[in-house]
Structure 1
């Protein structure tokens, strides 16, 4: 009997020791990642949503840790901007006036000094919410809409329009909403994709807004960026969670919350996104509401070091299907495309940039909408003040989307 008690005690001791060792290892791994990601800041700003924005010296930002950028000289501004008459010069939402400057919640409590860049601090709880620390901040390989099949990939559902061609950029006004996301591991977003290559060799640059509770810890709509040069396998990440995107702007925090969102049958808000290839440096620059934010160096890419062959615009959600039923997660406003302006989500003033760095109307637009009873997409209604545009979105689970 004593031996039995002794065996039970030793087993319990072994299990406890294993748990402690495992926990210590996890904590050590998290601390290593936090030290790698969070650069020393000149000053820090506490946002009302709980974020901490670190104002990091521009020459110490995470991007410059990339092996290909070891001796990189920061390009402080693009050599030139796309030429021509952009259809996105006037705002049909605000009596034809110029759009208001983008505002994020952290702006209420301060701003970053010159020669610094605002970096959203990564914290221990961010990793604790993650299911895979090693791949924290990375998308799955199912993320990109696939025009060839006309459908979405497993777990990812899209309502997207796309165009093939030789492209050197795109500009679009994307409607900003705060959709319901049913489960923490699901997300809802609206974005543009700049794409070259295919399969495991695909290159993408992605920009937009998203609601992603597990990743950010709340249900706020947030600005995000993403890139990959190998089909989401080893390269690329969200925001600044890996080295690559070089930020030059001290006012916009990638990953930061927006202060406002559109309301059904009421005020409509947009973010104006422009991604284009600098003709001189070859870097891919990002402009938000007329502000140069930074760039993806051409050296990060294989196919995109030359040009894009595909551009996509639209919405995406993740449905984990854990209960065998479709998610209630909304796309955009949570209303179908046919409801139109003020009710459905829209992307308007869609333009592309050609090889002479000139704005052009996009070519023929194709559609990807595999789950049309859940989320759909519809061409614009001919309102010339909105340029080339379309509506998209939906409520997710409903009687026709079980």
Structure 2
């Protein structure tokens, strides 16, 4: 009898030990499954990324927004910006794209978003900029600390920057007599977009319809955005802005404002938002990477964000404007670019999906682009970009002379230009569900 009691107590002790260990692992999460060396490296990276704040704001959506001294922001870690003097405003400020109030398409109006979720919890003082704090769990999810916050890139087998797309250049679509840069150059990405090229562009803008698309896997993302680009296919410069759903970067599936840049087609440079040194923020009101306060619903209210990217002709810096009054968020310094120090030679408006399950890989990802509905579904169903504008050496904002809609995988994600009325300018619709009967 005594032995049976002793055996039962031992079994109970063993079960308690297993439960304790399991609870500890669950409590620690990913952190409990990595080496001490990795944790030390993560801590060092966090100190590098998260600058000491003047004030911190706990947003109701779980984000922490740090109000950082404007002169101590991450941009100045870039070697080309060691002696950089902050430019507080464009010189002279260009006339902004026509305001929402001045636009005539009242029958297709959408509410322009000027707020982010964190605004409901506080504001940053003057001479600080709001920066979303990077969490330890986000770094632990990264493939590597070096790749955190970057678009994934797969270099060629020989380790050199060469075209990754076989075939004759004559097979590419042309616009205004010039080959269109295929996004297929960038591995694991598929896009649907409107493109203009073969001129010199010093600005681009548009009103981007905001949705919260399905993203199938944690290592995939979906965007709606504007690209301003220049350079050859294998090493182009790009300044980009829009909204995205990116669970690997942010740890959730919220729709967030983002920027991106690269000066070598994402081979070794560039990143989202302020994760790496580069973009200089000047606004104390807008936080890059923070959640957008409202998203559209099918057959319901439509929301949009107004964005513009334009060059300061004196400093060669590329400014990012936000909202109907074109409030300046900050700029990409001309010093971090090569080709974009002169002008853009290509502008795109549309959406992008990143996944390893695209371009013939079966099954195709079900990550949606835009609203997840086909472009042909139009207003209230499909994602749109309206009031598309470019700025050229005439220094005026205007609809592009030459445009061409393109879709890398038309059976998965479509694109369409549609005129609501014969006298209206076209509205760009794009997106789709990903995997479907025509895209297995």
Q: State whether TM-score is above 0.5.
A: yes
Name the structure 2 match of 1:277.
Answer: 311
Name the structure 1 match of 2:180.
Answer: 148
Report the Cα offset of residue 338 of structure 1. 0.7
1:68-94 CA-to-partner distances (Å, cap 9, x unmatched) read: 111111111111333487385546787
Name the structure 2 match of 1:27.
Answer: 39
Name the structure 2 match of 1:367.
Answer: 405
Distance in 1, matches of 2:33 and 2:420, equals 64
- 1:40 equivalent in alignment to 2:78: no
Name the structure 2 match of 1:337.
Answer: 375
- For 2:436, what is the secondary structure of its paired residue? coil
TM-score, structure 2 length as denominator? 0.81
Name the structure 1 match of 2:194.
Answer: 161
1:205-354 mapped onto 2 (5 Å cutoff): 205-289=239-323, 290-321=326-357, 324-354=362-392
Distance in 1, matches of 2:65 and 2:53, equals 9
- Cα distance, 1:391–1:58 mapped onto 2, change above 3 Å: same
Worse-superposed segment, 77-86 or 191-200: 77-86
Distance in 1, matches of 2:308 and 2:97, equals 14
Name the structure 2 match of 1:64.
Answer: 76
Report the Cα offset of residue 163 of structure 1. 0.5
- Cα distance, 1:350–1:124 mapped onto 2, change above 3 Å: same
Does structure 2 conserve the Cα–Cα contact (< 8 Å) formed by 1:279 and 1:357?
no
- 1:394 equivalent in alignment to 2:426: no
Distance in 1, matches of 2:210 and 2:273, equals 18
1:276-302 CA-to-partner distances (Å, cap 9, x unmatched) read: 001222111110002111111111111
Distance in 2, matches of 1:264 and 1:282, equals 41
Whose Rg is larger? 2
1:295-320 CA-to-partner distances (Å, cap 9, x unmatched) read: 11111111100000000110111232
- Cα distance, 1:401–1:97 mapped onto 2, change above 3 Å: closer
Worse-superposed segment, 357-366 or 239-248: 357-366
- Cα distance, 1:195–1:61 mapped onto 2, change above 3 Å: same
- 1:185 equivalent in alignment to 2:223: no
- Cα distance, 1:162–1:62 mapped onto 2, change above 3 Å: same
Worse-superposed segment, 195-204 or 98-107: 98-107
1:331-361 CA-to-partner distances (Å, cap 9, x unmatched) read: 1111101111111111110110012421122
Distance in 1, matches of 2:368 and 2:110, equals 30
Distance in 2, matches of 1:93 and 1:71, equals 46
Does structure 1 conserve the Cα–Cα contact (< 8 Å) formed by 2:59 and 2:117?
yes
Report the Cα offset of residue 99 of structure 1. 5.5
Report the Cα offset of residue 381 of structure 1. 2.1
Distance in 2, matches of 1:239 and 1:77, equals 19
Does structure 2 conserve the Cα–Cα contact (< 8 Å) formed by 1:87 and 1:387?
no
1:361-393 CA-to-partner distances (Å, cap 9, x unmatched) read: 212212321211211000122447964421111
Pairwise CA RMSD of aligned residues? Answer: 2.6
- Cα distance, 1:96–1:335 mapped onto 2, change above 3 Å: closer
Structure 1, gaps ≥5 residues long: 1-19
- Cα distance, 1:400–1:53 mapped onto 2, change above 3 Å: same
- For 1:63, what is the secondary structure of its paired residue? helix
